[in-house]
Structure 1
Amino acid sequence: MKKIGITGQNGFVGRHLYNTLGLFPEDFQRITFQKDYFENENELDQFIKKCDVIVHLAAMNRHESEQLIYETNIGLAQKLVESLKRTGSKAHVMISSSTQEERDNLYGKSKKEGREALANWAQENDGKITGLIIPNVFGAFGKPFYNSFVSTFCYQLTHGETPTIATDGEVKLIYVQELVDIIINEINVGDSKPEFLIEPTATKKVSDVLSLLIDYKTKYFDCGEIPGTVDSFEHNLFNTYRSYIDYETHYPVKFRQHTDPRGAFVEVIRLGIGGQCSFSTTVPGITRGNHFHTRKIERFAVIKGKALIQLRKIDSDEILDFYLDGNEPGYVDMPIWYTHNIKNIGEEELYTIFWINEAFNSENADTYFLEVQI
């Protein structure tokens, strides 16, 4: 079992990496990092001593002062080098740099010099270094106006704002989970690669990305339709978009019922995508679920009985409660990385329709069991 520490553990990429490593407890032990360790040599040294692998992600990406960005990033790398030397560490150190290394700006310069400082440490102390040169990263839970233009557009389109394009150039992109998978593979391989250029998985014009996101807003956010996705980039972009919806105010969504003397008709889901549809009956007092997905898109539609649907982001204590009643049918969609369940809180059988975007495969289920209630 490898002991992995992540500086910037609570940042955008750090949180995804930390949570993904947690899916493999037999292979990895996560060593907790707190950002104030950089201000306390003893705490930083103790952290370093515990780690077989250190993934250095802590950095400042944006600030009004480019000089402050430069000084902060260089300072963090230097503090890490000094601690590695003090402790005589033989850890495999991985540092995130950026394809902006070659640009004429202080951010790119800070990332390149930080990577080179750790490469020099490895060379002089028989250490291992992987210098990850990373293209633009997008994905769920990124910080708008900070991590990526994708984060900013998603936030604006789910919060009643109108995105604008400053420069409509082509951008090389990688989805955060794809990046995390590469990092974990490099952890397992364990080779030194002082300059490891990570290839983008998509190259898109900013306007093309915005056009897709506007389509998701029109079809999904406004009308509840699951849009068609032609490739993994669009699937990942759609999951990214969904993560910015304010679930507490958006759900549950009530269905439109068409009634006549015969009874009622309700359209449960309109699809531009395939998948698997099923239904369940649940007796009073029983709870189903308590699991989460990292890629799947899923809808719970209550058509008879009373239900409590609960969601909790796996690294949060906050539980979201949604009450649904078959007398006024409605649905809740499950966001990625949220464990979820559904409980019959009524006195009659609960009827629920479930839709998920891919048929169940026991060998690649993307289903991880975790209680919603802590």
Structure 2
Amino acid sequence: MLRIGVTGQAGFVGKHLYNTIGLFQEEFERIEFEKDFFEDEAKLSDFVSQCDVIVHLAAMNRHNDPQVIYDTNLGLVQKLINALNKTNSKAHVIFSSSTQEERDNLYGKSKKEGRELMAQWAKTSGGKFTGMIIPNVFGPFGHPNYNSVVATFSHKIARNETPTIEVDGDLKLIYVGELVDEILKVIKKGESNESLIVPHTAESKVSNLLALLERYKSEYQDKGIIPQLENKFETNLFNTFRCYIDIPNYFPVKFTQHTDPRGAFVEVIRLNVGGQVSFSTTVPGITRGNHFHTRKIERFAVIKGKALIQLRQIGTDEVLDFYLDGNEPAYVDMPIWYTHNIKNVGDEELYTIFWINEFYDPNDPDTYFENV
């Protein structure tokens, strides 16, 4: 079993990588990393000594003074090298660099020089080293005004703010889940490569990104419509946008009921995309679910009975509780990387309609069990 440590474990890419590694418990063991390890030589050396693989993601992306970015990033690399030398480590170090390496800025310079320093360490120590040159990364839970323009736009649009385009450039992009897959391939392969260029998986003008995100806001957030998603990139972008909605205050969304002497009619979902609809009954006191998805879009609609739907983002402790009552039919959508369940908290059978955007495939279920 490979023991893997991730510097920058709590950061944008680090969180996704750490959580994904946790899905492969028979292959990998996660070695915990904390930010203050870089300020304590003993703690950093202890961390390094436990690792077969170290993915070095810790870095500063933005600061008012570019020199601070340069000094910080090279300082982190040097501290890691010192710990590797002190512990006589032969770990496979995987370093995240950037396509900004060739640009005339101190961030790009810090990444290139850091990669070269790590490559030199591997040559002199007998360790393994892979330097990954990565395009622009986007995905859920990125920090606005820091990690990516997608994070900034999504955060603002979801809060009814108006983003501005400074330069309508053409961006080469990779979704964070796809980048994690590339890192896992490098880990499993276990071979050195000083300058591994990670290919982008999508390309878009900034204005096109903004237009797509504004459409998701209009259709999904404002009207509850699942938008048409033309390809994997658009699905990834939509799932990214969904994570910036103020979930505790947005759900549950009540349906519009149409009643007459015959009874009531409720429109459950409007789809510009396909998928699968299911129906369940649940007896009082029973809980369904306690799992999460990394790519699927899912809606729980309660039409009869009383339910408690709970959500918790993987890697966090906060549980969101939503109480739904069939007397006022409503729905909650499941964000990716949130484990979720539904419990009958009433005295009668609970009737629930489920929609998910993919047919169930037992060979690729994208369903991971974890209690809320």
TM-score, structure 1 as length reference: 0.99
Partner of 1:5: 5
Q: How many Å separate the matches in 2 of 1:289 and 1:127?
A: 44
- Percent same amino acid at aligned positions? 67
SS of 2:342's equivalent in the other structure is strand
Q: How many Å separate the matches in 2 of 1:159 and 1:63?
A: 25
Q: How many Å separate the matches in 2 of 1:95 and 1:106?
A: 18
Partner of 1:206: 206
Shift of 1:264: 1.3
Q: How many Å separate the matches in 2 of 1:263 and 1:153?
A: 43
Q: How many Å separate the matches in 2 of 1:358 and 1:300?
A: 15
> Does the alignment pair 1:183 with 2:179?
no
Partner of 2:288: 288
Partner of 1:196: 196
Partner of 2:89: 89
Partner of 1:150: 150
SS of 1:222's equivalent in the other structure is helix
Shift of 1:194: 0.5
Q: Deviations over 1:105-133 (max 9, x none)?
A: 00000000111000010111111100010
Q: Deviations over 1:46-77 (max 9, x none)?
A: 11100000000000000101010000000000
Partner of 2:371: 371
Give 2:336's aligned amino acid.
I
Q: How many Å separate the matches in 2 of 1:192 and 1:285?
A: 54
Q: How many Å separate the matches in 1 of 2:247 and 2:208?
A: 26
Give 1:219's aligned amino acid.
E
Q: 1:56-205, aligned counterparts within 5 Å?
A: 56-205=56-205
> Does the alignment pair 1:44 with 2:38?
no
Q: Deviations over 1:295-353 (max 9, x none)?
A: 00000000001100000111111100000000100000000011100001111110000
Give 1:330's aligned amino acid.
A
Q: How many Å separate the matches in 2 of 1:144 and 1:166?
A: 15
TM-score, structure 2 as length reference: 0.99
Partner of 1:245: 245
Q: How many Å separate the matches in 2 of 1:287 and 1:36?
A: 40
SS of 2:211's equivalent in the other structure is helix
Q: How many Å separate the matches in 2 of 1:126 and 1:283?
A: 61
Calculate the aligned-residue CA RMSD, in Å: 0.6
Count residues in correspondence. Answer: 372
> Does the alignment pair 1:304 with 2:304?
yes
Partner of 1:16: 16
Partner of 1:354: 354
SS of 1:141's equivalent in the other structure is coil
Q: How many Å separate the matches in 1 of 2:285 and 2:123?
A: 62
Q: Deviations over 1:180-234 (max 9, x none)?
A: 0000010000110000110100110000011000000000000000001111000
Partner of 2:266: 266
SS of 2:187's equivalent in the other structure is helix
SS of 1:54's equivalent in the other structure is strand
Shift of 1:263: 1.5
Give 1:57's aligned amino acid.
L
Q: Deviations over 1:144-188 (max 9, x none)?
A: 110000000000011121111010010000000000000001000
Q: How many Å separate the matches in 2 of 1:297 and 1:322?
A: 18
Shift of 1:261: 2.0
Partner of 1:339: 339
Misfit runs of 4+, over 2 Å: none
Q: How many Å separate the matches in 1 of 2:83 and 2:278?
A: 55
Q: Deviations over 1:80-108 (max 9, x none)?
A: 11111111100000010000000000000
SS of 2:208's equivalent in the other structure is helix
Q: How many Å separate the matches in 2 of 1:50 and 1:368?
A: 27
Q: How many Å separate the matches in 2 of 1:348 and 1:45?
A: 58
Q: How many Å separate the matches in 2 of 1:125 and 1:284?
A: 63
Give 2:348's aligned amino acid.
E
Q: How many Å separate the matches in 2 of 1:346 and 1:127?
A: 60
Q: Deviations over 1:246-278 (max 9, x none)?
A: 111000000011122222111100001111101
Q: How many Å separate the matches in 2 of 1:94 and 1:80?
A: 12
